[in-house]
Amino acid sequence: MGEKILMKGNEALAEGAIRAGCRFFSGYPITPQNEVPEYMSWRLPDEGGTFIQAESEVAAINMIYGAASTGMRCMTSSSSPGISLKQEGISYCAGADLPFFYANVVRGGPGLGNIAASQGDYHQSVRGGGHGDYRVLVLAPNSVDEMANFPKKCYELAFRYRMPSMILADGILGQMMEPVEFKFEPVDPKSFKEAGWELGLAAGRRKRIVRSYDLREGELEKINAARLKKYREIEEKEVLFEAKQCDDAELVVVAYGTSSRIAAAAVKMARDKGLKVGLFRPITLWPFPKKQLAKLAEKSRKFLVVEMSMGQFVDDVRLAVCGRIEVDLYARPAGIPSGEETFAAVEKSYKSMTPARAAAPAKTAKPKGKPGRPRKKPAKKAGRPAKKTRKGGRR
C-alpha cells in the first residue's frame, strides 16, 4: 500500500483479484485480455493457488462452477466472444446462487469484431447475459487504479449476496498502463468463515446440495421470488456513482468506463468556455443509479449520453428519467471518440436546448405534486399554454 506503481490494466486486474483472495483461475486466451491469464499463470502458484488454461471457454466456466461450489474465491476472464460462450455457465452459477467474479475486457463486435476497445456488451452485462431470469453485479472501472481495486469490491458483493459479479472493462483499460495504488491489505483466504452452503468434506455434517434447478411444482417460482427480493435489496443499498459539477449543470453528460474519462475532458473544455456542463458516471451498472439520475433530471435541463456503442447504455438512462428530461445520444459503436469530438457533441447538445424548456417552471415543480392530479396543475400554473389549447379546441 501507499506506493504508486505503473501497471497494465489486465495485470492490475489479476493482481487485484489475487490480493482479494482469489486462488483459482480458469480461462482461455483471447485478445485484449491475454495478460490476465498470463499473469495468473505465474502469480497464482506463488500464492498456493491454481491456474488452469482450459480447453475452451465452456470448460473454463464450468470449472468455475465447481470451484465456486466449494466457497473459494475464484475467477475467470475473457473478452466479448469468449464471454458469450461462458453465458450458459454464468446462468447456471446464478441459478445455483454461486458467488464468483469474472471480467469482460470488451472488444469490438458483433461476431469476431476487432480487438480494439468497445462498450458493445453493455446490454449483455446488465441484463444477466445468459438464459433465464437473473442479474449479475456489474462494476465499470474507468482507470487502471480501479481495475486493481474493484475485484475486492466484486468479491465482497458476490459473497454477501451469493451471486456472480463482474467487471465490465474494455480493450483500452486492459491494455493501458497507469499508476496504481492498491488501497487494501492482501486478504488471506484462510480468514474466510464458512457460510454453511459450501460443498467439501461432508463427514459429520448434513448433506448440502448446490444446483440450479428445482422440479417440484411451484418451487422454482419461490426460489426466483427470493432472488428478486435479494435483487431489490441490492438496488436499494449497493449503487455506486460519481457526480462532478452537476449542482449547477444545465447539461449533464452521462457516461461510464472509458467513455466517462473522455467525457470528463469534454466537460472541462465546456466549463472553460463557460458552459454549465456536469458529468454523471455510474460505477455500478447493475444496480443502476436510477434514483440518482431521476433526481438530477429535476434540476438540470438536458442529458447527453456518451457511449462507445450504438445506444445501449442510453436505454437505462432514459428508463431512469422516464421522459422527464430530454436525453441526447453521442454514440460511437466500436469507435473511440477523442476529447475534442466529444466536446463538439456536448456543445451541439447544449446549444440545442430550447429556451422554452428552461423557462417553464412547471417542469421543475411537477415531481413535487402528488400523482393523480396532473391535469389541473399545468392549467393553473402556465396560463398561456392553457389558453392556446382552448383556442385550438374551438377550431
Partner 1 sequence: MYQGIRMSGFGGQGVISAGILLAQAGLLEGKNVSWFPAYGAEMRGGTANCSVVVADDEVSSPIVSRPDTAVVLNEPSLAKFEPMLKPGGLLIVNSSLVNTKPKRTDIRVALVPCNAIAQELGTIKIANMVALGALAGLTGAVSIEAIAKALPKVFKRAKPEILELNVKALKKGAEAKAE
What are the residues whose beta carbons fall under 8 Å from the beta carbon of 139, sequence distance 6 or more? 150, 153, 154, 165, 166, 167, 168, 240, 283, 284, 285
Looking only at the bridges linking them, the beta strands covering 326-331 and 302-307 are parallel
- The nearer residue to partner 1, 262 or 329, going by C-beta atoms, is 262
**Distances from the Cα of 175 to the Cα of 32, 121, 162, angstroms:** 7, 18, 31
- Interface pick for partner 1 out of 15, 178, 307, 326 (rule CB under 8 A): 178
Q: Within 223-282, which residues bind partner 1 (CB under 8 A)?
A: 258, 261-262, 264-265, 268
- The nearer residue to partner 1, 178 or 328, going by C-beta atoms, is 178
For the CB of residue 77, give the shortest distance to partner 1 in the complex, in Å: 17
139 phi/psi in degrees, rounded to 5: -110, 135
Looking only at the bridges linking them, the beta strands covering 326-331 and 50-53 are unpaired
- Interface pick for partner 1 out of 219, 236, 247, 340 (rule CB under 8 A): 340
Q: Is 295 in the site for partner 1 (CB under 8 A)?
A: no
Whether cis (ω within 30° of 0) applies to the bond prior to 179 is: no
How many other C-beta atoms can be found within 10 angstroms of the C-beta atom of residue 333? 16
What are the residues whose beta carbons fall under 8 Å from the beta carbon of 388, sequence distance 6 or more? none
- The nearer residue to partner 1, 4 or 229, going by C-beta atoms, is 4
- The nearer residue to partner 1, 84 or 143, going by C-beta atoms, is 143
For residue 288, the 8-state DSSP code is -
Contact 32, 79 (CB under 8 A): yes
Distance from CA of residue 374 to its chain's centroid?
A: 35
Q: Within 18-47, which residues bind partner 1 (CB under 8 A)?
A: 31-32
For the CB of residue 300, give the shortest distance to partner 1 in the complex, in Å: 22
Provide the angle, in degrees to the nearest 10, between the axes of the packed helices 9-19 and 35-46.
30
- The nearer residue to partner 1, 261 or 324, going by C-beta atoms, is 261
**Distances from the Cα of 246 to the Cα of 41, 207, 288, 303, angstroms:** 44, 54, 18, 11
For the CB of residue 383, give the shortest distance to partner 1 in the complex, in Å: 47
- The nearer residue to partner 1, 62 or 149, going by C-beta atoms, is 149
For the CB of residue 266, give the shortest distance to partner 1 in the complex, in Å: 8
- The nearer residue to partner 1, 176 or 379, going by C-beta atoms, is 176
What the block records as the C-alpha cell of 358 is 428552461
- The nearer residue to partner 1, 104 or 165, going by C-beta atoms, is 104
Q: Is 77 in the site for partner 1 (CB under 8 A)?
A: no
Q: Within 86-125, which residues bind partner 1 (CB under 8 A)?
A: 115-116
Q: How many positions of this chain bind partner 1 (CB under 8 A)? A: 23
Q: Is 339 in the site for partner 1 (CB under 8 A)?
A: yes
Q: Is 177 in the site for partner 1 (CB under 8 A)?
A: yes
Contact positions vs partner 1 (CB under 8 A): 4, 6, 31-32, 115-116, 171-172, 175-179, 258, 261-262, 264-265, 268, 336, 338-340
